[in-house]
Amino acid sequence: MFEVFDRPDVLAENVPLADLVRINNVLRHKADPADLDAVNSPGVADIARYFKKLLTAGAVGSSVGEGWINLQGDSVFAADEAHRPTYLIFANRQIIECKSDISYAKTLARKWEKRCRFIIVYANEAEIPKEKPSDYIEYLCTQHNPTILEDFGLRALPAYVLLDAEGRIQQSPAPNPERYLPE
């Protein structure tokens, strides 16, 4: 009774429908997310861009943007000036695993400050410890960077991501701090 629409080339005369079929094929893993670039009909192209962003967020080798805003309102760039990898910890202090990971990461950050940069991203500003900022660890908050979780394709905390010196995702998920050893 119903025809299976999975060939956008057959529907070429109805461009919006063909574009919806392209999106559907990508979401059903019958096509590569790069196929979403071919979607160009008004309205449907916005949907395709949204799904492409969701599907490619957090992929190894992808760039995560220029940078973020720290608690002092300064820019923190994804690429490191000292050409060190960046280890990001996405945390919520109410989660027990996060508390121990944060504590361990602070120790590692002091020990390896010349080999790796550490950034801890808290879910909200109230969770950030009241200690003075240090030279070896940076604090960010999702309230100041509302798209940061989406940019990395994260849906749950805790999460760990390793960026290369140019600010591209090198490993996601990265090992937790207890298992991380900078090169």
- Summarize pLDDT for 110-151 with one digit per residue, the tens: 888 888 889 999 887 777 777 665 667 888 888 888 888 888
CATH of 67-179 given 2.60.120.10, 3.40.30.10, 3.90.1150.10, 3.40.50.12780:
3.40.30.10
Please list the residue range(s) of the chain that carry CATH number 3.40.30.10: 67-179
Q: How far apart are CA 86 and CA 172, in angstroms?
A: 12
- What does the pLDDT look like over 44-56, one tens digit per residue? 999 998 888 777 7
pLDDT attached to residue 2: 44
Q: How far apart are CA 71 and CA 104, in angstroms?
A: 22
Q: How far apart are CA 59 and CA 157, in angstroms?
A: 18
Mean pLDDT, rounded, for 165-173: 87
